[in-house]
């Protein structure tokens, strides 16, 4: 009963979390990185993804739902419901651990994935221009996948690639795995935000000697970033 009362009183979201320089800054310097989004091309272009992994041996970050048949080093979560739904699976598959949004309370994380095996990926919520100060990303980057591009940079990437950043042009299929989705108008808003952030991110990376972000798989939403 006491535990139940605590759950009712504890916040379901940390609105103004304290942000600290993450321990992962420079952890994999210098390495190529590959970020796996949730788009169908993760499935339809699996051969290209596997070939890239075999040739380049990148550090792999996945958003929400890692493939069970590909090596994934980290899995990132910005959505509480997806953490609760997929967190246990992700912890089992992630070789190095989970990366968790600072707005998700620790008690939620610990309940679903335990006290260890995860760390925060600090960023400032809101649509500010892309920037990084002392390891803290200064905007929300639009979505988990695009936020992970910035995390890859912080971890020490020499170049940053992505797959599964398809956009929401096809309303019948938004993910390579079964997933209940936000309303389409909300997805369009997120896509519009990513379209603003990606060019800013590319300029920031270039100014600091890092390649990318480049897309390994085709994208109707962000075609100018596709390099194949």
Kindly give, in sequence order, each residue whose CB lies less than 8 Å from that of residue 111, ignoring residues fewer than 6 positions away.
none
User: What is the torsion angle, in degrees rounded to the nearest 10, for the CA atoms of residue 215, residue 151, residue 142 and residue 195?
Assistant: -30
Q: Which among 110, 90, 89, 106 is positioned nearest to 98, based on CA atoms?
A: 90
Phi-psi region of 117 (alpha: psi -120 to 50; beta: other; left: phi over 0): left
Going residue by residue through the chain, which has 228 residues, state the pLDDT in tens, using 9 for 90 and above: 445 545 554 567 898 999 999 999 999 999 999 999 999 999 999 999 999 999 999 999 999 999 999 999 999 999 999 999 999 999 999 999 999 999 999 999 999 999 999 999 999 999 999 999 999 999 999 999 999 999 999 999 999 999 999 987 665 567 777 776 667 777 788 889 999 999 999 999 999 999 999 999 999 999 999 998
By the 10 Å C-beta count (0-12 exposed, 13-18 middle, 19+ buried), 185 is classed as exposed
DSSP state of 223: G
């Amino acid at each position: 009963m006491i535990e139940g009362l605590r759950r009712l009183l504890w916040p379901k979201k940390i609105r103004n979390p304290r942000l600290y320089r993450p321990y992962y800054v420079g952890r994999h310097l210098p390495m190529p990185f590959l970020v796996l989004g949730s788009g169908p091309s993760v499935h339809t272009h699996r051969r290209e993804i596997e070939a890239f992994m075999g040739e380049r041996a990148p550090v792999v970050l996945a958003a929400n739902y890692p493939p069970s048949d590909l090596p994934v080093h980290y899995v990132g979560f910005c959505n509480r419901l997806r953490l609760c739904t997929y967190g246990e699976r992700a912890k089992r598959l992630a070789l190095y651990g989970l990366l968790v949004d600072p707005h998700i309370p620790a008690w939620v994380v610990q309940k679903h994935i335990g006290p260890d095996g995860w760390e925060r990926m600090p960023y400032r919520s809101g649509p500010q221009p892309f920037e990084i100060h002392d390891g803290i990303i200064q905007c929300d980057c639009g979505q988990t996948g695009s936020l992970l591009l910035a995390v890859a940079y912080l971890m020490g990437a020499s170049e940053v690639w992505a797959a599964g950043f398809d956009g929401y042009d096809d309303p019948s299929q938004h993910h390579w795995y079964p997933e209940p989705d936000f309303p389409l108008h909300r997805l369009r808003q997120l896509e519009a935000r990513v379209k603003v952030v990606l060019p800013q991110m590319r300029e920031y990376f270039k100014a600091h000697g890092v390649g990318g972000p480049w897309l390994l798989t085709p994208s109707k939403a962000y075609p100018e970033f596709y390099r194949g």
